[in-house]
Amino acid sequence: MSDRFSPELVQSLVAAIAARAGVRQPDAAILAEALVDADVHGTSTHGVSRVNIYMRRIQKGLIEPRAKLVIERRRGGTLAVDAGNGLGQVQAVRTLEKLIPKAKKYGVAAATIRNSQHFGALSFYCNQAAAQDMVLFAMTSCEPAMSPEGGCQAFFGTNPIAASFPTGKGFPVKIDLATSIVARGNIIAAQKRGQPIPPGWALTADGEPTTDAAAALAGTVLTMAGHKGYALTLMVEIFSSVLSGAAVGPAIGSMYKHLDRKQDVGHFFCLFDIAAFMDPAEFKRRLDRAIDGIKSCRKRPGVTEILVPGERSHQKAQENLAQGIPLDEATRNELKTLCEELGVEFTL
């Protein structure tokens, strides 16, 4: 059962937990904002439900809570960054902060990030860029969950890719998708609820189709669009892991399974300053006209409105900001236990 809570209240509690676990106050605030933002936009699989595993990995010395971002190479508008095995959300925001002035100077700036962790929803960073009339093209490798086309052994992560584009509509066009047929977090959520998953999502460890969430997690998630999804997955792996110097494929540590080694996840950011290509106001006008054209297309039977990517999550955000974000009982209990262990007042 889920109850709703003020996003500000939850964010404050998460920040307090992280700070007591050893994270610097400003970094704890970044982590809390990123996690609550995911819940606000309806992506609870990447939200506050992840607090417990992050804190447990900090306690086991598998995440460095006070890691410093180290720039290993720089040339013009490019950076090669070592995240220092720090919190992924924190190091990603710090990297984006360094890319923004470079993109304003050169028009385009890019960074590879290695030695990082799972860093939540990519759209959090992409939306921050869009708010500054920029476009962030982002991708990340992940712990193994998906086999190459024709295989049944987990090699790739679900390897998402994302970008957000500013509009005059009150929300950005947001593309944020896993290259798997479904984000693995949805299968984890189904397992927690004791529910089956739809056919066509995953294979067992022996390569057989399954609707059992536990068997799917022990096996592999399927790529989206067959061989095309496989190709996109490989592209993300090359940009995020091969180019950055991060771990590749099965060498990436599992956040939940491998409580004896770091993850060494890799990310890739490419940031565009719209003003380098055209006036941002003109860009928004052109995109708004495109959106109007999309929405005016003839609708299929039973369809009342054509939505553009990012619109549904914007509507969900408006609802959750007004009514509070839902947190299930398991997540609330995990937060309460962390508070008891760390001496933080449980305020939910």
Which tens digit of pLDDT belongs to each residue from 17-62?
A: 999 999 999 999 999 999 999 999 999 989 999 999 999 999 999 9
For residues 227 and 233, the answer to whether their CB atoms sit within 8 Å is no
Confidence of residue 188 (pLDDT cuts 50, 70, 90): confident
pLDDT at 198: 95
Separation between Cα atoms, residue 323 and residue 22, nearest integer Å: 32
Q: Does the structure show a pLDDT above 80 at 87? A: yes
HEC assignment per residue over 125-184: HHHHHHCCCEEEEEEECCCCCECCCCCCCCCECCCCEEEEECCCCCCCEEEEECCECCCH
Separation between Cα atoms, residue 32 and residue 21, nearest integer Å: 13
- Give all strands of the β-sheet with 202-203 in edge-to-edge order: 209-210, 202-203, 220-221
pLDDT at 189: 84
Q: Is the pTM of this model over 0.85?
A: yes
Q: Does the structure show a pLDDT above 90 at 229? A: yes
Which tens digit of pLDDT belongs to each residue from 133-185?
A: 999 999 999 999 999 999 999 999 999 999 999 999 999 999 999 999 987 77
Which tens digit of pLDDT belongs to each residue from 299-346?
A: 999 999 999 999 999 999 999 999 999 999 999 999 999 999 999 999
Topology of domain 2-180+223-279+326-342, per CATH?
Answer: Ribosomal Protein S8; Chain: A, domain 1 (3.30.1370)
For residues 50 and 7, the answer to whether their CB atoms sit within 8 Å is no
pLDDT at 195: 95
Write down the domain spans for the chain: 2-180+223-279+326-342
Q: Does the structure show a pLDDT above 80 at 1? A: no
Average pLDDT over residues 246-256: 96
pLDDT at 15: 98
pLDDT at 186: 85
